[in-house]
Amino acid sequence: MKLCFLANADSIHSYRWIKHFAEKGHVIEWITLTPPNSSFAMDGIKLHLLKGHFLFNVNKIKKILKEIQPDILHSHYAGLYGLFGALCDFHPFVLTVWGSDVLLTIKSIVKKPLIIYSLKRADVITCDAVSMQKLLIKLNIEASKIKIIYFGVDTETSRRPLTNEPTSEGADRTETPIVISLRRLNPIYNVETLIRTIPFVLKAKPDITFIVAGNGTEEIRLKKMTELLGIPSNVQFIGWIDHKDIPRYLNKADIYVSTSLTDTTSVSLLEAMWSGAIPIITDLIPNRELITDGENGFIVPVKNPQVLAKKILFCLNNPKIIEQIRRANIKKIDESYNWQKEMGKMETIYKQLL
């Protein structure tokens, strides 16, 4: 197949998806507004970098599509790229929604009609949460064209061995407990709540290390906050990390924390579940699709440092229960959120559209 994608070229989620189909031998054309991340290998992918005014780019995309004659046009993210795809009037047209592109923009009286227009123009829409599927139906999108495809986990990556399993490369551990956050340092991910949680935890267990990955608009403020709270020696801000390095960090972590204010199916949460890090996440509907409180992780109220601290300490003080949670999550990921299986489902959808 010849597949043409409209998507940001600096996004790891777009890249993983598109690179998968390039490696499967399909002809790939990628139209984007952003240069690719320098760490992305672009073998087998032809990139078309757009510049200029919105209307100019619509015409440019139409011209590219006429020249390359793809079998399928696929937009990732229902905002600008979804609108580009819809306005090009090319079919079959697939649109993948990511979450915030719908959850946030439908609150805008200006953007909501544009999002709905793009959704209605698509022949197939994919999303990665049942809650998102229900929301799309509430927006009067035809249910039969909405498919759930998860941004799953590559289960071939290393993970921490369970009890009675041999140790593996990349699963090295430290004696000091580690709590990790992998969300970007932007207001929507509310990493401030984790920072405010740390003093409560350190009162009971002063030898814990908190790793805060990612970058964003809140980075300087959060670093200053750790200074004001007197906890800089326990917090490591490690910045943006390459996706290929995430398993190495997760394999060392005891607990994964996400304090996000809104979400769909979080890829970093899925990766944490596979690695064996115990998830403690905020009480959001998509999170409840993945985690049953007390069974395979823990759900905490939004913006509640005291409750989050109690859950972190509970995990560190109950190793037998934690081992059960790890086993449950590894099984869940392998059965339902396996990257290769999900992309296999997507390839079937592509073929059905031809």
Summarised one tens digit per residue, pLDDT across range 65-112 is 999 999 999 999 999 999 999 999 999 999 999 988 888 788 888 889
* Residue 52: per-residue pLDDT: 83
Burial 222-253 (b: 16+ CB within 10 A, else e): beebbeeeebeebbebeeeeebeebbbbbbbb
Class of domain 2-152+338-353: alpha beta
Measured CA to CA, the distance from residue 78 to residue 6 in angstroms comes to 10
**DSSP code string of 104-136:** TGGG-TTHHHHHHHHHHH-SEEEES-HHHHHHH
Same fold, 2-152+338-353 and 178-336: yes
pTM listed for this prediction? 0.83
What gap in Å lies between CA 62 and CA 58, rounded to an integer?
Answer: 6
Q: Hey, where are the domains in the chain? A: 2-152+338-353, 178-336
Q: According to the 3-state scheme, what is the secondary structure of 256-269? A: EEECCCCCCCCHHH
Q: Give residue 178's identity as a one-letter amino acid code.
A: I
- Per-residue pLDDT tens for 232-264? 999 999 999 988 899 999 999 999 999 999 888
Q: Where are the alpha helices (DSSP H) in the chain?
A: 12-23, 54-68, 80-88, 100-103, 111-121, 130-138, 191-204, 219-228, 246-252, 267-275, 285-290, 305-317, 319-336, 339-353
CATH 3.40.50.300 matches 178-336: no
